[in-house]
Amino acid sequence: MTRQRRITRRRLIAAAGALPLAMTAMTNTDASSAAEDLAVRNPRCEYLTDPLGIDAARPRLSWTLESGRRGVKQAAYRVLVASTPERLRAGEGDLWDSGRVASDDTAQVRYGGTAPLASGQACHWKVRVWDDTGATAECAPARWEMGLLAPGDWHGTWIARTTDTAVEAVPLLRRGFALDGKIKSARLYASGLGFHELRVNGRKVGDSRLDPAWTRYDRRVLYVAHDVTKLLKRGENALGVMLGNGWYNVQAKAAWDFDRAPWRATPRLLLELRVTMEDGSVVTVASDERWKTADSPITFSGIYGGEDYDARREQSGWDAPGFDDSGWQAALVVDAPKGKLAAQAMHPVRTDRVIKPVKVTEPEPGVFVFDAGENVTGNARLRLSGPAGTRVTMRYGERLHPSGRLDQKDIAVHVLRYGADQPFQTDHYILKGQGTEEWESRFNYNGFRYVEVTVVEPGSTRAPGKLTAANLTVNYFHSDVPEAGAFACSNPLLNRIWENGRRSYLGNLFGLPTDCPHREKNGWTGDAHVACEQGLFYNDGITVYEKWIRDVGDEQRPSGAIPGIVPTNGEWGYAFGAGPAWDSAFLIVPWHLYEYYGDDTALRAHYEGYKRYVDYLTTRATHGSPKESPTTTHLVKFGLGDWSFWKTETPVEVTDTGYYYHDARLVARVARMLGKDDDAKKYDALADTIRAAFNKAFFDPGTGSYGNGSQTSLGCALYQGLAEPENEPRVVDNLVAAIEKTDRHLDFGLLGSKYVLNALSDHGRADVAYAMAAQKTQPSWGWWAEQGMTTLLERWTLDDSHNHTFLGDVNAWMVKTLAGIRPDPSAPGFRNVRIEPNVVGDLTAARASYDSVRGRIVSDWKVEKDGTFRLTVTVPANATASVTLPVADPSTVREGGKSAVAAEGVRDVRPSEVRGKTLLSVGSGTYRFSGPLAR
Ligand code: BGC
C-alpha cells in the first residue's frame, strides 16, 4: 500500500471515531453482504509488512483470517518460504516448507528452515490455511529480507568529518560511482549517528525521519535498510549523507548529562550499498576513505536546542553525480561505536499530518506567533522570500505569556545554560535570497503548540513585513505505528479525553516511549509501563516496545539495578534510584505484550534479567546490618512513589512492595512458561511471603483499610492482588468511601491512575470509576480538556509539562470497561476476547474497535429509550469471545431477531457469576444481541 493510501485510511478511521455513534454502528447490510469465503490477509514478518533488514534468526510470521462464516477456526496452516518469487509461485518452499501443521496459530509462527538465513537473503513467502470445515485459502505473496547479520558482512568502515566534538557544523558526506549494465535491485544499509538523512542522486531515500532510533550507542547501534533500486541508474550515480548530532553528540548541558555519555563522539557513518545487476554480479559501494566530506549548511544541531541552517552555504548538486568535490576533504576513518550493530526492525518516525496554523498574532511589532491549534510534536516548515542573509528565528513552546509572546520557561528548566548561551527548541534559518525558500529542521523535534517567528534582514533590526499563515505549516511527527483502536461514547467529554490521550501518547513515541517531547524526551521507565496499555489500544506498537525493552536489558547492571531513564548516559538514573514502581517496566511492558499479542518473546529473552531484578529488590528489602544479622522484611522502600499525586501522598513502601510482589509473581509465571519448575516454586514462595508481609504491615483488620487509606493505597492492594479475597469487599467499600469524600474526584498520582479505575471496575464499581473519569472540575482529565488542553498534562494543575502521556491509562480503562473490550489473560493474544460493556452513569452508548493480532474486534452498544440494551460484537476469525451482557435473564437475550440460544455461533448462554448479567460464549463473527437492560 502506498504511503498516500495509508494516510487516507488513517484519516478515515480517525474521522469515523469522531462521528456520532448512530452513524458508526454497523448496519445489518454489512453482515449480510460479507462474503462467506475464507481469506488470508495481512501477512507480516516481525509485525511489519514486507520488511527489509530483519536480523532475527528465526523471524516471526503472522497473518489474519477472514470469513463470513461464524465460528470459523483455523485447523491447519502450511507456510512456504522460497528464495525467488518464481519458486514461490511454483509452490516450492526451497528455504522452508512447514508442511501442513495442525494448529490454530496465526501469529508468532517462526521461520523453521534448516539452513540459517544469510545476510541480504530475500525470503518470499505465503501461507495456506485450512479451516475447521476443510475450506482452504492462501494469502497474497509476501516477502521479507534479511539485514547484514555479522560485522564481517559490512565492507565499509565508519567515517566522519572530524573527531572534535566541539565542532558545531555537522557534515555532508558524498561518494560518486558508476554502474555499468542493467540494475536489477539495490539495497542501502546505513547507520549514520546521531541521525542521518540518506540521499541518492539528489533525492531523499525513504520518508522516515530521525533514523536510526536512539539507543545506548555503546551497547547497541541500529542500522536501517532501504530499497533504492528506483533511485539508481546506469552510468554515473552519487550517494550523499547528511548527519546530525541527535543523542550521539549532545553538546548541551542539561540535567541528565548526555554531554558526558561514554558514547559521545562526532557524527559518523557506516553505509553499504549493494547493487545486484541483471547479469547476477553485485556491485558494492561502502563507506571508506574514498568518500569526500564538507561542512553542511547545518551550522548547529542540538536535540534540545534545535537547528541552525545557513542556506547561503548550500552546495547545489552535492548529492548528485557530476558535482565537483575536488575542494572537499577526504573522509576520516574513525572508530566504530562500541555497540553491537542491530537492525532497526521497527516502524520509523514519519510525518503523520501537516497542520495549517489556526491563528497568527503579532504580540510585538515584528514578532509573529503561529498557533497550531493543538499541542503536537515535530517542527515547522518555513516558506519565505527575502534578501540573502535575512535571519529567521523560530522558537517552539506550548504556552504563551499574558503578553502573547512565547513562554518556554517550564519546558526549558532542565537545560542548564538556557538563557545564557544555550538555545532551546529554537531554529535559525538564514535566507540565501533566491525566490521562495522552504525549509524545516532535520535532526531534532520539538514539543509545542506555538511557533514564535522573527525575521531580521541584514543591516536592519526590524522585521521586513507581516507574516501570515501562508509562511508556515506544522509537521506533526512521531513513530509511525499503525493505528489499532478507536473509541467513542455518548459523553463528548470522554471522547475529547480519548483524543487528547492519543495525541500525547503519539507525541511521546520516538523509537522509545518518552515522558514529554520538549523538556526531557527521556525514556522514563515508570511513564512507559503505566502508559503501555493505552498505547497498545491506540496503536500496533509492539515493534517499538520490543526495541525499547532490549534497551532496558542493555542498561541493567550485573547487580540487577535499572536506571530510571532508558537510554541513560551510563550513569544517570542508577544512583537516582527510581525504584520498583518505575523499574518494573522491564517486566510489565513485556507482560502486556504477551497479554495483547500472545507473544512471549520479550518475556523469555529477559528472563534471567528479571530474576536478577527481583533478587536485587530482595537485597533492598533487607533491613538491619547486612553483615551481622541481615533480616529481610520483604518490604521495599526506595525511589519514587505516586508521582504527581493531587493532595494525598501514599507511602512509597506501599506501592514499592506492591511492585516487588508483582515482579516476583511474574518471574514465577515466566519460569513456568519456560519449564523451570524450581524457579517457579522459589519465586511463588517469595511472592507469597511478600504478600503476607504487605498485609501484616499495611492492612488494618479493624477498619479494612490499607496504608494511610489513600485512594492509591487501597487501589494498590486491590489491583496488585495483595488483598486477601475475604477482605476485598471491605477494601472496596473503603476505596469507594475515600472517593465519595472527594466528591467523586480522583486524589492520586501516576500509580493510582493505573490502580483505582481498574480496581473499581474489577470489583463491580464501574459506576464510581465512571463518575471520576467523567468529572469536569479539578482534578480530572476532563478539567484539563475544559481548560482548552489538547493533550494530557504532567500535573492535575496547569503547571509543568502540558504533554505527558503517563496519566492517560483512563483511556485504556474506557476501552476495557465502557466499550468493554478486554484481553483474557487465560487466552493471550485475543485467542479469546472478553466483551464486558458497562452501562454506567449517564452513558447511553459506547463503541470501541481494536485491530488485534487476530483481526478486528468491535464492541458497540447502546440503550434504547424503552430500556432495550443492544450490543453489536465482532469477534475476529479464529478467535472466541466471552460476552457479558447487562441482561438479567439469559432466556430474554436475542440475537439477530431470534433467541440467542438458537443463534449460529453462540455456544453457551447462562447467568453470569455477576448478578443481573448474562454470559455468552461465541465463536467468530458479528452478532447483534439485545435484551432488557437489568437495572
Ligand atoms: C518526568 C516524569 C518522570 C519523573 C520521575 C520527571 O521529570 O517528566 O515523567 O517519571 O521525572 O522522576
φ, ψ of residue 816 in degrees (nearest 5) = -75, -35
Mean pLDDT of the chain, nearest integer? 94
Q: Is the pLDDT of residue 29 over 50?
A: no
In this prediction, residue 8 has a pLDDT band, given cuts at 50, 70 and 90, of very low
Atom of ligand 1 nearest to the CA of 520: 8
Atom 8 in ligand 1: which residue has the minimum CA distance? 515
Q: For residue 774, give the 3-state DSSP assignment.
A: coil
Task: Evaluate if residue 28 carries a pLDDT over 80.
Answer: no
- Across 684-708, average pLDDT: 96
Q: How confident is the model at residue 416 (pLDDT cuts 50, 70, 90)?
A: confident
Q: Which ligand 1 atom is the nearest neighbour of the CA of 582? A: 10
Ligand 1 closest atom vs CA 526: 10
Q: Kindly tell me if the per-residue pLDDT of 11 is higher than 90.
A: no
Q: Are 734 and 723 in contact (CB under 8 A)?
A: no
As a whole number of Å, the end-to-end CA separation of the chain is 48
Residue 640 Cβ inside 6 Å of ligand 1? The answer reads yes
Give the DSSP letter string of 62-87. EEEEE-SSTT--EEEEEEEEESSHHH
CA of 660 relative to ligand 1 center, distance in Å: 21
Asked if 344 and 474 count as a contact pair (C-beta separation under 8 A), the reply is no
Instruction: Say if residues 877 and 887 touch (Cβ distance below 8 Å).
Output: no
Nearest atom of ligand 1 to the alpha carbon of 519:
8
Q: Which amino acid is at 802?
A: H
Residue 21's pLDDT is what? 37
Share of the chain above pLDDT 90, in %: 91
Residue 566 and residue 552 in contact, taking contact as beta carbons nearer than 8 Å: yes
Q: Which residue, 432, 445, 517, 219, is CA-closest to 342?
A: 219
Q: What is residue 765's predicted lDDT score, i.e. its pLDDT? A: 97
pTM listed for this prediction: 0.95
The predicted structure's pLDDT at residue 631: 64
Query: What distance in Å separates the CA atoms of residue 894 and residue 868, rounded to the nearest whole number?
Result: 11
Q: Is 796 in the pocket of ligand 1 (CB under 6 A)?
A: no
567 upstream amide cis, omega within 30 of 0 = yes
- Whether residue 520 has its Cβ less than 6 Å from ligand 1: yes
What pLDDT band is residue 758 in, cutting at 50, 70 and 90?
very high
In DSSP terms, which residues pair with 187 in a beta bridge?
227, 274
- Res. 7 pLDDT band, cuts 50 70 90: very low
The model's confidence at residue 463, banded by pLDDT at 50, 70 and 90, is: low
How many other CB atoms sit within 10 Å of the CB of residue 254? 24
Distance from C-alpha of 917 to C-alpha of 888, rounded to nearest angstrom: 5
Give the model confidence (pLDDT) of 913-935 as tens digits.
988 999 999 999 999 999 999 97
How many CB atoms are closer than 10 A to CB 85? 12
Is the distance from the beta carbon of residue 806 to the nearest atom of ligand 1 less than 6 Å?
yes
- Identify the pLDDT of residue 338: 97
256 touches ligand 1 (CB under 6 Å): no
Tens of pLDDT, residues 136-177 = 999 999 999 999 999 999 999 999 999 998 888 999 999 999
Question: Distance from the CA of 538 to the center of ligand 1, in angstroms?
Answer: 23
- CB of 528 closer than 6 angstroms to any ligand 1 atom: no
* Cα-to-centroid distance, 806 and ligand 1 (Å): 10
Q: What is the 3-state secondary structure (H, E, C) of 171-236?
A: EEEEEEEEECCCEEEEEEEEEEECEEEEEECCEECCCCECECCCCCCCCEEEEEEEECHHHCCCEE
Q: What is the pLDDT of residue 33?
A: 34
For residues 656 and 582, what is the distance between their CA atoms, to the nearest angstrom? Answer: 9
How far is ligand 1, taken at its centre, from the CA of residue 909, in Å? 48
DSSP state of 818: I
Ligand 1 atom with minimal separation from the 525 CA: 10
CA of 215 to the centre of ligand 1 (A): 19
DSSP three-state, residue 754: helix
Q: How far is the CA of 247 from the centre of ligand 1 (A)?
A: 19
Q: What is the dihedral of CA 102, 605, 47, 79, to 10 degrees?
A: -30
Indicate the length of the chain as a whole number. 935
| Cα–chain center distance at 815 | 18
Alpha carbons 512 and 495: distance in angstroms, whole number? 26
Mutate to test the pocket of ligand 1, among 256, 508, 527, 568 (most ligand atoms within 8 A of CB): 527
pLDDT at 166: 85
Task: Look at strands 437-439 and 367-384 and give their pairing.
Answer: antiparallel
Of the listed ranges 359-368, 573-582, 856-865, the one predicted with least confidence: 573-582
How many whole angstroms separate alpha carbon 853 and alpha carbon 46?
Answer: 12
Beta bridge partners of 82: 124
Which atom of ligand 1 is nearest to 806's Cα? Answer: 9
- Which of 10-24, 47-61, 576-590 is least confident? 10-24
Phi/psi of residue 907, each to 5°?
-100, -25
Query: Would you say the CB of residue 572 lies under 6 angstroms from ligand 1?
Result: no
Residue 16 has pLDDT above 90, yes or no: no
Asked whether 206 lines ligand 1 (CB < 6 A), one says no
pLDDT at 561 over 50: yes
Closest atom of ligand 1 to CA, residue 515: 9
H helix runs in 795-871, sequence order: 809-813
- Beta bridge partners, 415, equal 254
State the Cα–Cα distance between residues 143 and 122, nearest whole angstrom: 7
Can you tell me whether residue 888 is helix, strand or coil? coil
Peptide bond into 658 cis (omega under 30): no
Q: What does the pLDDT read at residue 19?
A: 35
Q: What is the reported pLDDT for 101?
A: 98
User: Is the confidence at residue 258, as pLDDT, over 70?
Assistant: yes
pLDDT at 14: 38
From 518, 522, 750, the mutation candidate for ligand 1 (largest count of ligand atoms within 8 A of CB) is 522
Alpha carbons 318 and 296: distance in angstroms, whole number:
10
- Give the mean pLDDT of 278-288: 97
Q: Tell me if 642 CB under 6 Å of ligand 1.
A: no
- Whether residue 31 is predicted with pLDDT greater than 70 in this model: the reply is no
Among 410, 512, 515, the mutation site with the greatest number of ligand 1 atoms within 8 A of its Cβ is 515
Beta carbons within 8 Å of 4's beta carbon, 6+ residues apart: none
Distance, CA 779 to ligand 1 centroid (Å)? 19
CA of 643 to the centre of ligand 1 (A): 8
- Give the CA distances from residue 706 to residues 303, 711, 732, in Å, rounded to whole numbers and listed in that order: 44, 10, 11
Q: Which residues are CB-contacts of 772 (< 8 A; sequence separation ≥ 6)?
A: 739, 744, 745, 746, 756, 757, 780
Residues forming a β-bridge with 847: 488, 860
Q: Is pLDDT at 27 greater than 60 in this prediction?
A: no
Which pLDDT belongs to residue 209? Answer: 98
The reported pLDDT for the residue numbered 633 is 83
DSSP 650-690: PPHHHHHHHHHHHHHHHHHHHHHHTT-HHHHHHHHHHHHHH
Mutate to test the pocket of ligand 1, among 514, 520, 524 (most ligand atoms within 8 A of CB): 524
Residue 244 DSSP one-character state: E
Tell the residue nearest (CA) to atom 2 of ligand 1. Answer: 515
Q: Show the cell assigned to 766.
A: 464501574
- Are 570 and 257 in contact by the 8 Å Cβ rule? The answer is no
What is the pairing mode between strands 880-885 and 142-145? unpaired
Our CA angle for 659, 657, 622, nearest 5°, is: 125
Residue 827 has pLDDT above 90, yes or no: yes
Output the residue whose Cα is nearest ligand 1's atom 3.
Answer: 524
Confidence of residue 630 (pLDDT cuts 50, 70, 90): low
Please give the number of the atom of ligand 1 that sits closest to the Cα of 750: 10
Which atom of ligand 1 is the closest one to the Cα of 516?
Answer: 8
Ligand 1 centroid to Cα of residue 523, in Å, is 9
Mean pLDDT throughout 884-902?
Answer: 95
CA distance 875 to 98: 28
Centre of ligand 1 from the C-alpha of residue 515, in Å: 7
Yes or no: say if 569 and 261 are a contact pair by the CB < 8 Å rule: yes
Q: Under a CB-based contact definition with an 8 Å cutoff, are residues 412 and 243 in contact? A: no
Share of the chain residues as helix, strand and coil, in percent rounded to the nearest 5: 25, 30, 45
Handedness of CA 537, 539, 543, 548 (dihedral sign): negative
Whole-number pLDDT of residue 461: 66
Residue closest by Cα to atom 11 of ligand 1: 524
Q: How confident is the model at residue 560 (pLDDT cuts 50, 70, 90)?
A: very high
Q: Is 639 in the pocket of ligand 1 (CB under 6 A)?
A: no
Are 211 and 269 within 8 A, CB to CB?
Answer: no
Q: Which atom of ligand 1 is nearest to the CA of 804?
A: 9
- Å from CA of 524 to ligand 1 middle: 6
Please tell me if the CB atom of residue 516 comes closer than 6 angstroms to any atom of ligand 1. yes
Where residue 36 falls among pLDDT bands split at 50, 70, 90?
Answer: low
Spatial separation of the C-alpha atoms in residues 727 and 365, rounded to whole Å: 67
**Going by CA atoms, what residue is nearest to atom 6 of ligand 1?**
515
Q: Show the beta-strand stretches assigned E in 792-896.
A: 821-823, 832-835, 845-852, 855-863, 868-875, 880-885, 894-895
